[in-house]
Amino acid sequence: MNIFEDIARASIHLLLTQPFYAHYLTALNKVIDSEQAQSLLIKSEPSGFTLYIHPAFWQSLKEEDIKAGALLHELLHWLLRHPFQATQYKNRQLFNLAADLVVNQYLRKERRQPNIPIIDTNFPLDVKTPLSLSNCYNLLSHIWQQPQSPAYPLLWRWLEDADFSSHQHWWNTSSPLIRTAWENNWQQQNKTVKLRITKEGITRLPEAIQRNIGVNIAQTDYLNWRKQLRMFTASSRQTRLVPTVRRPSRRYGTTPGLSVRRKQSLLVAVDSSGSIQQEDLALFFREVYQIWRAGAEITVIECDDTIRHIWPYRGQNVQKAQGGGGTLFDPVMQYIQSHPGFDGLIYFTDGRANAPVMPCSIPLLWVISPGGITPDEDHYRRLPGQKIKLYATPK
């Protein structure tokens, strides 16, 4: 096996789905070495970033997705700036594990190696993801101090099975000269890759990475979702011909003639579950107001795990919605089946529920709240129809 050619194939595999990471990998120096690393290792050196590959480890990876995931794992540590933060945490083992858990949550399921540590729906505690490094470290520290915690045995197993050898050089950042060299390499690498990638490719990245590489999320994506929401409402608008005595027929010169009337009837579903905050509800109805002003006929349906209230929207100021329970999307889909005539459905939600089982028979747009699920999460990808992520209005 030619390892360099194999890594090139893995990069091409990534290029088709996550081009930013693929371009980042192609910009790295690559060295096959069985001494520097026990698996994969990215180091900052005078010549730039270097990827060290242990040949036996690489040959043990059989599937293209797993190879791409192994490369992504190491790359994400740097993009999330974990090496720069290592000396800020007291317990090295818990920090190493927290860093791996944070990275693994951004890997697609098919790219995760078997038995890697991951906080998902099977985790013994109810944890809101995605986790930041500090939140994850604090969670592990809390579990460590509570042997009676249901997550304590799992934490022990993760620490016993872990290989943190690729993290050991991170503690060199205590030297100001080394830290400055790392920072310069990191900034130059980001600048090089951002020149190769489109704006759309960058805005698909997790929010934490966008912030680290200097993308102004609040400004760029704010404009993007506003435009996409307007385009959806415009595309679902219907037209019809109606007779009118005010306009003679162009063909016959007699009255009544015909005029084109635009009609748009939208169903707007508002998630009223307990996870929706007051500021989310206010943001939802600001957008509903703008759609109504553009001429749409809007029916609002408030729903958590069941439909709570259905009413016609006529520009009123809405302060609260009925609900406060869990979240299910299927009740709204069932309502559409029994109440035909709507031109489109806009569902305002945080997305924290399973995708609907029942298909939607009309054009569907999911509008996800600022604190809701993100495009890199499985829940986001599984939602049918179009999707946009809201961001708070920039100041």
Residue-wise pLDDT for 131-140, tens only, equals 889 999 999 9
Tell me the C-alpha distance between 101 and 109, whole Å.
14
The domain limits of the chain are: 3-204, 220-389
Summarize the confidence of residues 66-76 as an average pLDDT: 91
Tell me the C-alpha distance between 374 and 383, whole Å.
12
Name the more confident of 325 and 225.
325
Kindly state the percentage of the chain with pLDDT values over 70.
83
pLDDT-derived band at 271 (thresholds 50, 70, 90) equals: very high
Phi, psi of 46 (to 5 degrees): -55, -30
Summarize the confidence of residues 248-253 as an average pLDDT: 63
Fold type of domain 220-389: Rossmann fold (3.40.50)
pLDDT-derived band at 95 (thresholds 50, 70, 90) equals: very high
* Residues facing residue 44 across a β-bridge: 49
E strand intervals along the chain: 29-32, 40-45, 48-53, 238-244, 257-263, 265-271, 297-303, 307-313, 344-349, 364-368, 386-389
Residue 7 has pLDDT above 90, yes or no: no
pTM above 0.75, yes or no: no
64-79 helix and 19-26 helix, angle to the nearest 10 degrees: 80
- Token pair, residue 233, equals 């409402």
Tell me the C-alpha distance between 120 and 144, whole Å.
19
Tell me the C-alpha distance between 94 and 100, whole Å.
10
Side-chain half-sphere of 200: how many Cα atoms within 13 Å?
1
